[in-house]
Structure 1
Amino acid sequence: MGNTVSLLKRSGMDDPDKYPLYIFLIIAGCIVGSLIGFSVYSMFYGLDDSDKFKDMSNEQRNYMRETRQRNLNMLAVEARRPDMIVPIRESNV
C-alpha cells in the first residue's frame, strides 16, 4: 500500500503548472487530427464540385431572359424613361 501511494505522489499530473501545456497539446492534437481527416476526405472525394451542375436548357435561358427584361421594363416605366423599354419579343432572338 505504501508503494502505491509513493508512485501516485511521483505522478506528473499533480503539478498544476503544467495544466496549460496539457490543454495546448490536446487542442493541437485535435487540430492535427482534423487536418488529417480533411486531407483523407479530400483524397477520396475531391474538392471540385463543377461536374455536379448541369448547363441550363435553352427554354430556361429564354425564360430567364424574358423575366429579366420584364423587370427592367418595369423599372424603366417607374423611372419614366420610355426610351429604355425594350419589347420582350425582341429579346428572344
Structure 2
Amino acid sequence: MALLGSIRLTAAVDVKRGERVNLRQLFSVEERRKAFTAQVDAPTGAKVKVNVAKLEPMETIVDLGSKKGEAASLWRLLKIWDLDRELVASEDIRKGEGLEVTVETL
C-alpha cells in the first residue's frame, strides 16, 4: 500500500462509540471538498483504502483520479454512494473534533 494523502477534517456531528455514521453526515460539504496533495498516482478505478480516525476503514475504487502532485479530496476521489456507506465508530466523536483522514492505494 502507498499513501495517496492525508488531511485533518472537522466532524460536523457527535457520534457515540458503536453507532453508525456516513461521511456525508460526519463531514460538511466544505470539509469533504478540502484538498490535499496526492503523493502517488491514483487513476480512476484504482482500489483505495480510506481510514478516518475513530471509524472502521473503508475500501473502494477511485471515482475521479489524481496524479502525483495534484490536488485531491474526498469529494473527487469517492463515488457518491461511498459518502452514504455507514461505518461504525470505534470511539466517541465530538462535533468540532478534528479527525485525521488517510487514503492509501491498494
**TM-score normalised by the shorter chain: which range applies?**
under 0.3
Higher strand share: 2
TM-score by length of 2: 0.18
TM-score by length of 1: 0.20
Higher helix share: 1
Tell me which of the two structures has the higher relative contact order, counting C-alpha pairs closer than 8 angstroms and 6 or more residues apart.
Answer: 2
Tell me which structure has the larger Cα radius of gyration.
1
